[in-house]
Amino acid sequence: MTRDSNSSPTIADENPGKVPALAGLLAHLKANFHASQHALLARDLGRLESLAAEQAGLRLAMAHVLNQRWLQPDLLPADLSREARDVLQLGRVQSALLDRAQQSLRTIANLLAGTQAAYTSGGRVGRDLPADKSGAL
């Protein structure tokens, strides 16, 4: 994609010294997202928590490098733009995985609560549970 004279300057135009720092942060964040997705799929909550804390630190570091601006791939040099798009996609994938895990945990919690509330220790049916208005299990 070529830029015309009216387009915004890239990070490299504004401050070429930031490009290596940003490239390192993007590579680190990309590796972190891959590791956290593996941890999430393996249900390794301790590892997931530590990786999420690291992601928060990387986000702050990127905000410092980008002068508090949003990561805009179109304002980066071509090689960093591809890396930034990959990182953004990995973030979307992780968000979807986390949403799915949250739904699964909510379903399990509801099933467990339903089991405990509906049956007494003698195995007889106890009080009825109110219907879930959200349609979820």
Predicted confidence at residue 21, as pLDDT, reads 85
Residue 2, in any domain of the structure: no
Residue 21, in any domain of the structure: yes
Predicted confidence at residue 126, as pLDDT, reads 45
Q: Which residues of the chain have pLDDT under 50?
A: 1-5, 123-127, 129, 135-137
Residue 85, in any domain of the structure: yes
Predicted confidence at residue 39, as pLDDT, reads 93
Residue 121, in any domain of the structure: no
Task: Please state, in angstroms and as integers, the Cα–Cα distance from residue 65 to each residue in 17, 26, 59, 81, 84, following that order.
Answer: 10, 11, 10, 15, 14
Range of the domain at 39: 13-115
Predicted confidence at residue 69, as pLDDT, reads 66
Q: What is the DSSP letter of 34?
A: H
Predicted confidence at residue 66, as pLDDT, reads 77
Structural tokens at position 48: 């997931």
Predicted confidence at residue 9, as pLDDT, reads 62
> What is the largest distance, in Å, between two alpha-carbon atoms of the chain?
79
Q: Would you say 43 and 110 are in contact if contact means Cβ atoms under 8 Å apart?
A: no
Tally of domains within the chain: 1
Predicted confidence at residue 129, as pLDDT, reads 46
Residue 101, in any domain of the structure: yes
Q: What is the DSSP letter of 10?
A: P
- Return the ∠ at Cα 70 (arms to 32 and 33), rounded to 5°: 10
